[in-house]
Amino acid sequence: MDAASGPVIALVGNPNVGKSTLFNALTHLNQHTGNWPGKTVEVARGRYLYQGGTYTLVDLPGTYSLHPGSAEEEVTRDYLLSGEADVTLVVVDATCLERNLALVLQVTAAAWPVVVCVNLLDEAARKHIQVDLGKLQALLGCPVTGAAARSGRGLSQLQALLAETIAAPPPPLPSDPPAAGLCPCRQAAVLAARAQEIAAQAVTADEETAHRLDRRLDRVLTSRKGGIPVMLLLLAGILWLTMAGANVPSALLSDLLFGLREPLRQLLEGMGAPWWAVGALVDGVYQTTAWVVSVMLPPMAIFFPLFTLLEDAGYLPRVAFNMDHFFHRAGAHGRQALTMCMGLGCNACGVMGCRIIQSPRERLIAILTNAFMPCNGRFPTLIALISLFFTAGTGLWRSLWSALLLMGCIVLAVAMTLWSSRLLSATVLKGLPSAFSLELPPYRFPRLGQVLVRSVLDRTLFVLGRAVTVAAPAGLIIWVAANVTIGEQSILLHLAGLLEGPGRLLGMDGVILLAFFLGFPANEIVVPCILMGYLSAGTLVGYEGLPQLHAILTANGWTAATALSVLVFTLFHFPCGTTCLTIWRETRSLRWTALAIVLPLAVGVILCSAIHWMSVLLPV
């Protein structure tokens, strides 16, 4: 017990049992998250008050076993064995109690005292499942209470039971549990049999009625005929809502941020700052940062809540189930499908999401290949190029055709992700794909409030903060390159001239290739950098509409072949600065970070070179 923070409660449980919901319901906003020392595993701590006393709740990573197969499970085991907690609270799911009881049996043998909270009693009631809490307590030999954390039901009883257990711990269980002394495989079998025996006595349910709706939905969502098409339709819907919904807030945010540019300039000039300092700070650092924020924030603020809604509803494990066959054939892990989908919102988030993969080899494959998926920062460029050079007609037909081509780009990105995963698993990361058990949790109505908090705070603002730290210094570099001259030309135009030869070999030009390098902080500024180079401007240049953009591009020699090369290079080039920083933090290796940069860049160079020579040999 820490005198300053009061008794410590370790919160453990399988994934998808509502553990985080319970943690948030008890601690509200009085919580913080930090990495476990020496690992990239996050552990949340929070406090709550009960009858004048302060209690500290430690939310440990979800685990299926105390025999660790991942860094997360290792952290949970080590913390429980450390004895730091005054009591261990194990959360189980009332709708699938048998599946969770094996962990309860392990915890009661490793840490004491233990309290079991049977969560999701409201969902169990809807599915006609009844749990006899008294009988369960007698069979487990530790205090048991029930709750429905989403609605707050049972929380006061839980707090009272925890306080009572801490004040007067029950006598420990016998020190020779049924699985003691056996190898992990035999232990698992013995614990599973014991869990089945306990559940049979404590749970009353009509299995056919209890899971009827889930089974009906799974016949469609995980079937060979319907699983992939439904997945693609949902993905297309999320992308459409993201891009269409982000237009207005992005424009409003842009007006707000860029409206502050001149007042900031006047403030600096009034303070006597020299012209170069004003230009560097306002037209360089501030303008680049404002551009990244206004273009990046609205799509992420839409995509991540939608993505988290699917996760909360229980659909994302079905995506992994549908894609497992493809990734297994590529020598990778089925859960890479989830991190790949996260990459559509932000590759940095996709890289961090790779922590869910237990095998270090397969986790590294997922990290190194995530940049093959186009993030939301690349979608505006892709959509603009498709609309300007590869669609015909007007109105609805043009929108539908654009949507189909964009989906084609994503399918190509998925194919290249699988190909590159296969390449890595057969060469530098050679090995056999590991077997894994994939739990398909019951379908649930998403918790809108928690979804917004998790998606906005844990993902959107976190990634945006990292992007700003990269964009601000890059804005200074861009301004210096565009405004400092050598001879009669700016550094920017000199660099574009040096890249003209390599750019032409890729079907582009030096300005375009330089724009991708300048867009390293954030893919959102690639097109403004192209326009800045073409117009010899001293700052990033925007455009009022697609007709104006088309006129500038064609005036500088763009053709359909040029646009196709730029489109492909937009899909496949080095990750942005935020993603590279995240890759290094996750791997702590410059070698693997360099490979993550080179791999998609090499694919982009090869494909663009092929497009260029085909356009030369077979001119249209």
Reported confidence tier of residue 175, pLDDT bands at 50, 70, 90: low
Mapping DSSP onto H, E and C, the string for 2-60 reads ECCCECEEEEEECCCCCHHHHHHHHHCCCEEEEECCCCCCEEEEEEEEECCEEEEEEEC
User: Residue 207 pLDDT > 70, yes or no?
Assistant: no
* pLDDT score recorded for residue 608: 96
Q: What is the pLDDT of residues 281-340, one digit of tens each?
A: 998 888 888 888 887 778 878 887 887 788 778 888 888 888 888 888 888 888 898 899
- Give the pLDDT confidence score for residue 538 in this predicted structure: 82
Instruction: Band the pLDDT of 537: cuts 50, 70, 90.
Output: confident
**Which range, of 107-121, 438-452, 546-560, averages the lowest pLDDT?**
438-452
User: Are β-strands 42-50 and 31-35 bridged in parallel, bridged antiparallel, or unpaired?
Assistant: antiparallel
Decide if 27 contacts 55 (C-beta within 8 A). Answer: no
Confidence of residue 177 (pLDDT cuts 50, 70, 90): low
| Mean pLDDT in residue range 605-614 | 94
Q: Residue 148: beta bridge partners?
A: 153
Rounded to whole angstroms, what are the CA distances from 365 to 318, 430, 541, 565, 596? 21, 10, 38, 27, 10
pLDDT bracket for residue 512 (50, 70, 90): very high
d(CA 128, CA 585): 47
Mean pLDDT of 175-188: 60
Q: Cα(97)–Cα(151) distance, rounded to whole angstroms?
A: 20
DSSP 340-381: HHHHTT-HHHHHHHGGG---HHHHHHHHHHGGGS--TTTHHH
Tokens 């590159």 belong to which residue? 420
Q: Which residues of 162-201 are buried (b: 16+ CB within 10 A; e: fewer)?
A: bbebbeeeeeebeeebebeeeeeeebbebbbebbeebbee
Q: Which of 221, 218, 247 is nearest to 232 (CA)?
A: 221
What does the pLDDT read at residue 86?
A: 93
Q: Which domains does the chain have, with CATH numbers?
A: 8-210 (3.40.50.300), 228-431+446-617 (no CATH)
Residues 6+ apart with CB under 8 A from 450: 20, 21, 24, 312
Pair of tokens at residue 219:
């016949």
Q: What value does the mean pLDDT take over residues 551-570?
A: 94
Averaged pLDDT for residues 477-483:
89
Q: Is the pLDDT higher at 100 or at 394? A: 100
Candidate ranges 102-111, 415-424, 448-457; pick with highest mean pLDDT: 415-424
d(CA 349, CA 581): 12
In this prediction, residue 87 carries a pLDDT of 94
Mean pLDDT over 275-284 rounds to: 89
Residue 202 pLDDT: 92
Give the DSSP letter of residue 618: S
Q: What percent of the chain has pLDDT over 70?
A: 88
pLDDT for position 184: 59
Q: How confident is residue 345, by pLDDT bands cut at 50, 70 and 90?
A: confident
Summarize the confidence of residues 196-218 as an average pLDDT: 80
| The pLDDT of residue 499 | 94
Residue 436: predicted pLDDT: 59
- How many CB atoms lie under 10 A from the CB of residue 307? 23
Per-residue pLDDT tens for 422-450? 999 999 988 766 655 666 777 777 777 66
Cα atoms found within 13 Å of the Cα of residue 8, Cβ hemisphere only: 19
What's the pLDDT at 597? 96
- 620 or 581: whose pLDDT is higher? 581
Higher pLDDT, 307 or 110: 110
What lies within 8 Å, CB to CB, of 536 at 6+ separation is 490, 493
- Range with the largest mean pLDDT of 238-247, 503-512, 521-530: 503-512
pLDDT over 90 at 222, yes or no: no
Side-chain half-sphere of 170: how many Cα atoms within 13 Å?
A: 18
pLDDT attached to residue 508: 95
Mean pLDDT of 40-65: 85
With a cut of 80, say whether residue 389 has pLDDT above it.
yes
Determine the pLDDT at residue 254: 84
Model pLDDT, residue 546: 78
Measure the CA–CA gap between 102 and 88, rounded to whole angstroms: 15
Average pLDDT across the chain, whole number: 85
Q: Residue 454's pLDDT band (boundaries 50, 70, 90)?
A: low
- Secondary-structure breakdown of the chain: helix, strand, coil percentages, each rounded to the nearest 5: 65, 10, 25
The winner for highest mean pLDDT among 379-383, 414-418, 548-552 is: 414-418
Q: Which of 29-38, 207-216, 372-381, 555-564 has the highest mean pLDDT?
A: 555-564
d(CA 561, CA 614) in angstroms, rounded, equals 9
